[in-house]
Copies of this chain bind each other. A is one copy, B any other.
Amino acid sequence: MAAADPAYRPFGVRLREAMDEHGPLCAGIDPHRGLVEAWGLGYDLAGVERFALTCVDAFGGRVAAVKPQSAFFEVFGAKGVALLERVVTELAVAGTLSILDVKRGDIGTTMDAYAEAFLGKDAPAAPDAITVSPYLGYGSLRPAVDLCHATGRGLFVLALTSNPEGAQVQHAVLDGRSVAGHVVDGVTADNADAASRGELGSIGMVVGATVGDAAERLGLDLGASHAPFLAPGVGAQGGSADSLRRVFGAALHNVLAASSRDVLAAGPTAHGLAARAAAVADSLRDQLG
């Protein structure tokens, strides 16, 4: 494991502070065709640029974290990726945490390269955290975990999602433990040092707020992981206080609610977006305490 540079403050610590200050909202930047056109913009690189930079203006300095969705930039190829780099850089200038939703996952030197690409000191544009996918086993993500610890960045590992097809993989069982459970175990171990310091860990998980009783049925102790949870589905999509408690239990305070369409529907003005984000964040603070 690379030694931690003392100049870097851990992602988990920075996220805790940001959530406490701004409320537990992670505002998405999801410039898909329908939304871009609903803002009266053309669906092309210029329209997407206008959309994304308006989001940066609206959210910068006002929410705990912002999550650009890489796919909606990659669809424009290298030029879209250049725009995405600009978005990430401008969020850093605004002092707002960025979580780049890329869901990368590979093994060996290839995973090393993905880790360097997004989490390394020389990364072209370094978000504060990225999402990763563990189909090749939680252990295959080791280069990214180690680099996070060394550079003060974070991960959100796909764990338990609410899309109906997800159960086929995530609920499957090996050695008496579900696939999602193995992810929880790996994350728990990697956050142990942070937990011993009484801090929120830097290795988070993606857990859907609307997974119902799945976490309970699979015997997942999400609270013990000391992980931040990037959670789609809180609020508008129907996660009630009861259902949230059923999923996250005592870890409700570590939930960072991912909201995209809900907030983005308040565009196209930065003012409208900022007001909606503030209202959503307040309501989430009430829900997630």
Residues from chain B with Cβ under 8 Å of A113 in the complex:
32, 69, 71-72, 74-75
Residues from chain B with Cβ under 8 Å of A80 in the complex:
124
Q: Does A109 touch B at the CB level, under 8 Å?
A: yes
**In the bound complex, CA of A174 to CA of B168 (Å):** 7
- For chain A, the bracket of interface size reads 35 or more
Binary flags per residue of A72-108, CB closer than 8 Å to B gives 1, else 0: 1011111111101100000000000000010111111
Q: Which stretch of A129-137, A219-227, A273-281 is in the interface?
A: A129-137
| A residues neighboring B (CB under 8 Å) | 30, 32, 34, 69, 71-72, 74-82, 84-85, 101, 103-114, 116-117, 120, 123-125, 133-140, 158, 161, 163-174, 178-179, 182
Nearest chain-B residue to A69 (Cβ)?
B110
| Residue contact B179 to A166, C-beta cutoff 8 Å | no
| Residue contact A78 to B165, C-beta cutoff 8 Å | no
Residues from chain B with Cβ under 8 Å of A138 in the complex:
165, 168
| Residue contact A166 to B140, C-beta cutoff 8 Å | yes
A-B contact pairs, 6 of them (CB 8 A): A107-B163, A107-B165, A135-B135, A137-B165, A139-B165, A172-B172
Nearest 6 A/B pairs, CB to CB: A77-B124, A137-B165, A139-B165, A172-B172, A78-B82, A71-B113
| Residue contact B166 to A136, C-beta cutoff 8 Å | yes
Partner of A174, one of B69, B117, B135, B167: B167
Known A-B contacts A140-B165, A174-B168; the reply to A135 vs B105 at CB < 8 A is: yes
| Residue contact A108 to B178, C-beta cutoff 8 Å | no
| Residue contact A78 to B124, C-beta cutoff 8 Å | yes
CB distance from A201 to the nearest CB of B (A): 20
Q: Which interface residue of A84, A101, A139 has the most chain B CB atoms within 10 A?
A: A139
Residues from chain B with Cβ under 8 Å of A120 in the complex:
75
Residues from chain B with Cβ under 8 Å of A69 in the complex:
110, 113
CB distance from A127 to the nearest CB of B (A): 12
Residues from chain B with Cβ under 8 Å of A111 in the complex:
71
| Residue contact B106 to A104, C-beta cutoff 8 Å | no
| Residue contact A114 to B82, C-beta cutoff 8 Å | no
**In the bound complex, CA of A80 to CA of B72 (Å):** 18
CB distance from A227 to the nearest CB of B (A): 17
| Residue contact A168 to B179, C-beta cutoff 8 Å | yes
